[in-house]
């Protein structure tokens, strides 16, 4: 940058300063020259900026054009946290139900033994505890289902805003897919699968084809575990309706143990899926 030239005749005693911009802008960012005319009010000692005609002697101020910061997607973290909490609580209730089924099995076995030591109060307590755990399981499934659908709805909207590739199902199917008889055996995982594909960092934002994007195997694992969990749970309920023999309680115990284990694995799988989708979407730029 050249030295300022102060040889011009000052106006009102204020010297004029002419600054010539450098040939190469700093940091490779283009500079925009903005002329500013400094004058002095006759009744004031302060220099002010006025909209007056500019001359060649007016100083030039360089304004650097700042780079544009893209707007990123906002994942539904709050919905994910709520859904994750309910899913974990439901899995914990499933594990407790398996433990209670084991306790009930041994109580019934003792009751039908040659010399029973269990009392009617113990049997009634075990029955009440099993009933409350069943209610807790059903409430947990309902609450975690609602919370997960809210998260899936938000994630589906974000997926459409970061990638314009068409999905197999529209946004409303994030909710409807769970309530279609028979169709709810595969439609929900289709919605989540497309959200996974559209949110991946290697999926192009424009002109992509989700069918050509690699599917997430973890979603298939979660969906299989989810269906098996509820299938085994329904089987256990039907078993206890038939009779109350020792063999029936033994089968119920094994069914509940399997259901509880599958519920825990299913919960862990979907928590990983939700966290990964949110992390991917947080790094994607909105295109609409």
Residue 54 in 3-state DSSP? coil
In this model, does residue 111 exceed pLDDT 70? yes
Quote the pLDDT of residue 115.
84
Quote the pLDDT of residue 38.
46
Quote the pLDDT of residue 119.
85
Quote the pLDDT of residue 281.
93
CA angle, 56 then 59 then 60, to 5°: 100
In this model, does residue 286 exceed pLDDT 80? yes
Nearest to 106 by CA among 121, 116, 97: 116
Quote the pLDDT of residue 25.
52
In this model, does residue 19 exceed pLDDT 50? no
Contacts of range 19-25, beta carbons closer than 8 Å, 24 or more positions apart: 19/59, 19/60, 20/60, 21/60, 21/62, 25/64
Q: What is the pLDDT of residues 175-223, one digit of tens each?
A: 999 999 999 999 999 999 999 999 999 899 898 889 888 888 999 999 9
In this model, does residue 142 exceed pLDDT 90? yes
Nearest to 288 by CA among 213, 205, 207: 205
Quote the pLDDT of residue 58.
57
* Sequential DSSP letters for 234-279: HHHHHHHHH---HHHHHHHHHHHHHHHHHHHHHHHHHHHHHHHHHH
Helix (H), strand (E) at residue 104? helix 77-111
Q: What is the pLDDT of residues 224-283, one digit of tens each?
A: 999 999 999 888 777 766 566 777 777 888 888 888 899 999 999 999 999 999 999 998
Number of Cβ within a 10 Å radius of residue 276: 15
Quote the pLDDT of residue 2.
47
Q: Which residue has the higher pLDDT, 52 or 103?
A: 103
* Environment class of 207 (CB within 10 Å of its CB; exposed 0-12, middle 13-18, buried 19+): exposed
- Interval 117-131 mean pLDDT: 87
CA distance 153 to 105: 42
CA distance 236 to 200: 39
Report how far Cα 147 is from the mean position of its chain's Cα atoms. Answer: 12
Q: Is the pTM of this model over 0.85?
A: no
Q: What is the pLDDT of residues 22-67, one digit of tens each?
A: 455 555 555 444 454 445 444 555 444 445 555 666 565 555 655 5
Quote the pLDDT of residue 171.
94
Task: Map out the domains of the chain as residue ranges.
Answer: 1-67, 77-282
């Amino acid at each position: 940058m050249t030295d300022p030239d102060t040889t011009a005749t000052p106006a009102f005693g204020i010297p004029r300063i002419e600054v010539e911009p450098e040939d190469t802008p700093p940091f490779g960012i283009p500079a925009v020259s903005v002329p500013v005319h400094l004058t002095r009010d006759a009744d004031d000692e302060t220099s002010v900026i006025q909209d007056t005609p500019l001359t060649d002697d007016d100083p030039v101020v360089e304004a650097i054009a700042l780079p544009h910061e893209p707007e990123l997607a906002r994942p539904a973290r709050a919905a994910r946290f709520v859904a994750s909490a309910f899913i974990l609580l439901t899995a914990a209730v499933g594990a407790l139900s398996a433990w209670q089924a084991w306790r009930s099995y041994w109580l019934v076995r003792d009751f039908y033994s040659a010399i029973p030591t269990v009392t009617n109060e113990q049997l009634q307590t075990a029955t009440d505890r099993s009933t409350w755990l069943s209610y807790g399981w059903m409430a947990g499934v309902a609450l975690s289902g609602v919370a997960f659908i809210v998260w899936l709805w938000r994630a589906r909207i974000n997926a459409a805003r970061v990638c314009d590739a068409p999905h197999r199902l529209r946004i409303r199917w994030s909710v409807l897919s769970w309530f279609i008889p028979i169709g709810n055996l595969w439609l929900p995982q289709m919605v989540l699968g497309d959200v996974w594909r559209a949110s991946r960092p290697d999926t192009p934002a424009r002109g992509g084809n989700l069918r050509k994007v690699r599917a997430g195997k973890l979603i298939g694992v979660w969906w299989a575990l989810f269906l098996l969990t509820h299938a085994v749970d329904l089987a256990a309920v039907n078993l206890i309706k038939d009779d109350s023999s020792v063999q029936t309680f033994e089968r119920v115990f094994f069914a509940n143990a399997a259901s509880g284990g599958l519920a825990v694995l299913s919960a862990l799988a979907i928590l990983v899926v939700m966290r990964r989708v949110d992390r991917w979407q947080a790094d994607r730029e909105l295109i609409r």
